[in-house]
Amino acid sequence: MDIAALSTSLSSASLSNQVGVSVLKKAMDTQTAQSTEMIQLMEQSVTPHIGQSLDLKI
């Protein structure tokens, strides 16, 4: 195999790998931000007095 072709192939594979890692990092950051927002919304929607007691009639 030609050295130049091998070098080009490895460089292309390395670039592809770096792009994949960057996209994955961005997706993880987005997911973290969305989960943080969801937790904040859930904390705001909680009413502490609801669900503490249960009235039953048998």
Q: Enumerate the domain spans of the chain.
A: 12-36
Q: Of all residues in the chain, what percent carry a pLDDT higher than 90?
A: 38
pLDDT, average across residues 1-27: 89
pLDDT for the residue 44: 79
Task: Give the pLDDT band (50/70/90) at residue 36.
Answer: very high
DSSP run (H or E) holding 25: helix 3-45
- Looking at residue 7, its amino acid is S
pLDDT, average across residues 9-33: 93
pLDDT for the residue 56: 80
